[in-house]
């Protein structure tokens, strides 16, 4: 018993000696949650001068409040993020990891925890939350209905206008909450936006809407996360019942009510088949700043058309007005101020002969800006997430991994002093193995978050390493080759990251799905662009004609490749056939 107690004491001394030399903050507590040891990095992190100021103190002195203390006592996870308080009272956040939990039925027990200061990371997270709050305030200020749906069309967030339509919107299916339906609307723009990964719009009649039988013009904006997966959709809805009813009335009758047109809140114009203006209502006069007598009788090109050599009077008139259309066009006022309108045109016919064309305008200048702001917001969030991934990966590699590596070396040095087979040797070997597993996990996680070589040396060295790792892995059975032509140049970080992710996805597809044995990347640098060709000798597949068909085929990875190429102003094409392999070609501007 005395020998065992000495062994136990020696084990504790070894642990404390190891922690004393570690650069990572460490805390040792007994089973009564009293501090029995802290190392120098821990004293520095919590703002204490000497170890005697903490020895024997309850561990709660380290935390900002009782709730954090209770979380620590419970320790439901091996890793927790807690609010802590320094000696001078200043608050900070720490990630605390339970490294050793040594409890015996007899004799003393103790816990060894390692702490990392994560205040900067939490500050970044709070800034993102504040940005989201500002965006919510903006969306709550607009009169249109705006909701965020998940992939099952359940409303996760709604602005004030949506809550006004139905106070119990959040948590309900959108078609039940607002449309009074038991299944999604026919031609649902939200489903189409998620399927096509593009902004979609539609006008739908809702006979059982919360506001009564109404027509709604809806816009769906797909939400795409950092790995290219669609996670939901933002819907913007506007009650256009009055507008749609006016359009229906104009289609059903050759004679329209002049009084109705004159009092319409939206601009309306009527054109003769020879393109001359027959009529404009006061709303159009107010919008364009042209008087009635300045417009009637004018033929295309019209005064509100932009001064552009690309506009052709006859062809543009036919494309905009001679068919039932719904187009968004950029016009200008008499003073030259640009504005956006949604133009709905209807030909009025008599015995198959067109008598005139009725054009109904909706000023969407503010709506267009809102849509652009929302797209920009989504892009900024994606960029912020990518930067945060890069920062976390760098900190894991430079700080956490290096500290664990140093700790591993220290434990290994202690192993050299012990005899194989002794209790101390086994305990130290166990600790060393645990540290090694943690180190490998952290390095793998850091590499997956952001390839460090990409930021330091650029696209080509990163591709070389990617192909080398794949070729050297016998489980893959894939021979890889990289060919570079032209003068190598560094590109912008956004372009390099997008091209690397595309190549990485193509390589994964060749390895996991194509049953390929050979994969070749050819990079060609030109004066103003870069061309990349990705080829494999796999089983191939029937490439769909339209990009939207990829979603139905379940090829979300290929959709993500198209999206990444589009974000950097590039193009991507896929050529494949059954049994003939796959070739992917990417062209992007050379933004150095």
Q: Using one digit for the tens of pLDDT, what is the confidence trace for 524-574?
A: 999 889 999 999 999 988 877 777 677 666 777 888 788 788 878 889 999
274 within some domain: yes
Q: Are 537 and 517 in contact (CB under 8 A)?
A: yes
Domain co-membership, 222 together with 278: no
The CA–CA distances, whole Å, from 256 to 65, 215, 246, 319, 362 equal 73, 21, 10, 24, 19
Q: Using one digit for the tens of pLDDT, what is the confidence trace for 209-242?
A: 666 778 878 888 898 888 888 889 888 888 888 8
Choose between 74 and 5: higher pLDDT. Answer: 74
Among 206, 239, 272, the domain boundary falls at 239
Choose between 102 and 437: higher pLDDT. Answer: 437
Domain co-membership, 376 together with 356: no
CATH for 293: 3.30.450.20
CATH for 544: 3.30.565.10
Is it the case that residue 456 has pLDDT exceeding 90? Answer: no
pLDDT of residue 103: 58
Helix-strand-coil split of the chain, %, nearest 5: 45, 25, 30
Domain co-membership, 350 together with 375: no
CB atoms within 10 A of CB 258: 10
Choose between 313 and 397: higher pLDDT. Answer: 397
Provide the residue count of the chain. Answer: 592
Lowest mean pLDDT among 100-104, 336-340, 521-525: 100-104
pLDDT of residue 130: 85
- What percentage of the chain exceeds 90 in pLDDT? 15
Element (H, E) at 91: strand 91-102
Is it the case that residue 520 has pLDDT exceeding 90? Answer: yes
Domain with 529, as residue range(s), is: 452-589
Q: What is the mean pLDDT of the chain?
A: 81
Choose between 586 and 325: higher pLDDT. Answer: 586
The CA–CA distances, whole Å, from 154 to 163, 222, 231, 416 equal 14, 14, 12, 60
pLDDT of residue 88: 92
5 within some domain: no
Q: Which residue, chain included where needed, has tokens 């392999």?
A: 581
Contacting residues for 41 by C-beta, under 8 A, at least 6 apart: 22, 23, 24, 25, 26
> Where residue 367 falls among pLDDT bands split at 50, 70, 90?
confident
Among 117, 151, 180, the domain boundary falls at 117
3-class DSSP assignment, residue 561:
helix
Domain co-membership, 90 together with 214: no
Domain co-membership, 231 together with 341: no
Beta strands in 160-305 (DSSP E): 200-206, 214-224, 230-239, 268-271, 277-280
Lowest mean pLDDT among 171-180, 498-507, 535-544: 171-180
135 within some domain: no
What does the alpha-carbon distance between residue 450 and residue 56 come to, in Å, rounded to a whole number?
43
Choose between 421 and 572: higher pLDDT. Answer: 572
Domain co-membership, 377 together with 413: yes
Contacting residues for 581 by C-beta, under 8 A, at least 6 apart: 514, 516, 535, 536, 537, 538, 539, 540
219 within some domain: yes
> Where residue 588 falls among pLDDT bands split at 50, 70, 90?
very high
Q: Using one digit for the tens of pLDDT, what is the confidence trace for 373-397?
A: 764 664 576 677 677 877 887 787 7
> Where residue 254 falls among pLDDT bands split at 50, 70, 90?
very low
Lowest mean pLDDT among 9-13, 93-97, 164-168: 9-13
Domain co-membership, 458 together with 573: yes
526 within some domain: yes
* Residues forming a β-bridge with 332: 338
Q: Using one digit for the tens of pLDDT, what is the confidence trace for 179-209?
A: 777 888 777 878 888 888 898 888 877 776 6
8 within some domain: no
pLDDT of residue 592: 43
Q: Using one digit for the tens of pLDDT, what is the confidence trace for 280-305?
A: 889 999 999 999 889 888 888 888 88
Among 239, 272, 304, the domain boundary falls at 239
511 within some domain: yes
pLDDT of residue 46: 93
The whole-number average pLDDT for the span 579-586 is: 91
Is it the case that residue 368 has pLDDT exceeding 90? Answer: no
pLDDT of residue 324: 53
Is it the case that residue 447 has pLDDT exceeding 80? Answer: no
Domain co-membership, 398 together with 474: no
pLDDT of residue 314: 52
Domain co-membership, 465 together with 370: no
Q: Is the pTM of this model over 0.85?
A: no
93 within some domain: yes
The whole-number average pLDDT for the span 251-256 is: 55
pLDDT of residue 485: 94
Nearest to residue 459, comparing CAs of 383, 523, 510? 523
Domain co-membership, 172 together with 53: no
Q: What's the number of domains the chain is made of?
A: 5
Q: Using one digit for the tens of pLDDT, what is the confidence trace for 115-169?
A: 999 988 888 888 888 887 887 787 788 888 888 889 888 888 888 888 887 787 8
Domain co-membership, 176 together with 71: no
Domain co-membership, 471 together with 576: yes
Give the single-character DSSP code of 59. G
Element (H, E) at 14: helix 2-21
């Amino acid at each position: 018993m005395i020998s065992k107690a000495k062994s136990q004491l020696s084990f504790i001394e070894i642990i404390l000696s190891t922690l004393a030399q570690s650069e990572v903050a460490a805390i040792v507590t007994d089973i009564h949650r009293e501090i029995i040891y802290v190392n120098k990095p821990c004293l520095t992190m919590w703002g204490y001068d000497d170890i005697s100021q903490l020895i024997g103190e309850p561990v709660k002195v380290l935390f900002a409040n009782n709730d954090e203390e209770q979380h620590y006592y419970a320790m439901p996870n091996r890793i927790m993020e807690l609010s802590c308080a320094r000696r001078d009272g200043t608050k900070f956040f720490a990630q605390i990891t339970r490294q050793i939990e040594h409890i015996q039925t007899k004799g003393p027990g103790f816990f060894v925890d390692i702490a990392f200061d994560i205040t900067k990371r939490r500050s970044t997270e709070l800034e993102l939350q504040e940005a989201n709050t500002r965006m919510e305030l903006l969306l709550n200020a607009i009169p249109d209905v705006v909701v965020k749906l998940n992939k099952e069309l359940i409303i996760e967030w709604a602005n004030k206008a949506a809550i006004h339509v139905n106070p119990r919107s959040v948590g309900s299916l959108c078609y039940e909450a607002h449309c009074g339906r038991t299944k999604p609307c026919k031609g649902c723009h939200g489903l189409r936006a998620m399927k096509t990964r593009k902004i979609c719009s539609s006008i739908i009649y809702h006979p059982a809407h919360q506001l009564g039988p109404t027509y709604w013009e809806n816009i769906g904006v797909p939400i795409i996360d950092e790995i290219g997966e669609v996670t939901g959709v933002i819907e913007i809805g506007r009650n256009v019942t009055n507008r749609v009813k006016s359009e229906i009335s104009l289609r059903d009758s050759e004679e329209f009510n002049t009084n109705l047109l004159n009092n319409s809140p939206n601009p309306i114009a009527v054109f003769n088949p020879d393109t001359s203006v027959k009529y404009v209502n006061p709303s159009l006069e107010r919008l364009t700043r042209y008087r009635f007598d300045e417009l009637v009788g004018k033929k295309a090109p019209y005064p509100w058309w932009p001064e552009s050599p690309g506009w052709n009077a006859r062809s543009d008139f036919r494309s905009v007005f001679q068919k039932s259309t719904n187009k968004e066009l950029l016009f200008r006022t008499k003073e030259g101020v640009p504005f956006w309108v949604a133009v709905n045109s209807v030909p009025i016919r008599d015995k198959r002969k067109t008598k005139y064309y009725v054009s109904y305008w909706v000023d969407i200048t503010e709506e267009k800006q809102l849509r652009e702001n929302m797209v920009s917001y989504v892009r900024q969030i994606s960029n912020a997430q990518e930067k945060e991934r890069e920062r976390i990966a760098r900190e894991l590699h430079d700080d956490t991994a290096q500290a664990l590596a140093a700790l591993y070396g220290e434990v290994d040095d202690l192993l050299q002093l012990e005899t194989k087979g002794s209790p101390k040797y086994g305990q130290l070997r166990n600790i060393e193995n645990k540290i090694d597993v943690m180190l490998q996990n952290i390095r793998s996680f850091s590499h997956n978050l952001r390839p460090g070589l990409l930021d330091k040396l650029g696209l080509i060295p990163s591709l070389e390493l990617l192909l080398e790792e794949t070729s050297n892995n016998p489980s893959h059975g894939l021979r890889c080759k990289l060919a570079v032509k032209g003068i190598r140049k560094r590109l912008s970080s956004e372009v390099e990251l997008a091209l690397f992710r595309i190549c990485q996805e193509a390589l994964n597809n060749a390895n996991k799905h194509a049953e390929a044995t050979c994969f070749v990347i050819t990079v060609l640098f030109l004066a103003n662009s870069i061309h990349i060709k990705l080829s494999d000798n796999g089983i191939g597949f029937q490439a769909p004609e339209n990009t939207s068909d990829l979603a139905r085929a379940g090829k979300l990875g290929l959709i993500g490749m198209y999206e990444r190429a589009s974000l950097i102003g590039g193009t991507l094409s896929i050529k494949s056939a059954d049994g003939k392999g796959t070739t992917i070609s990417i062209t992007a501007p050379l933004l150095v």
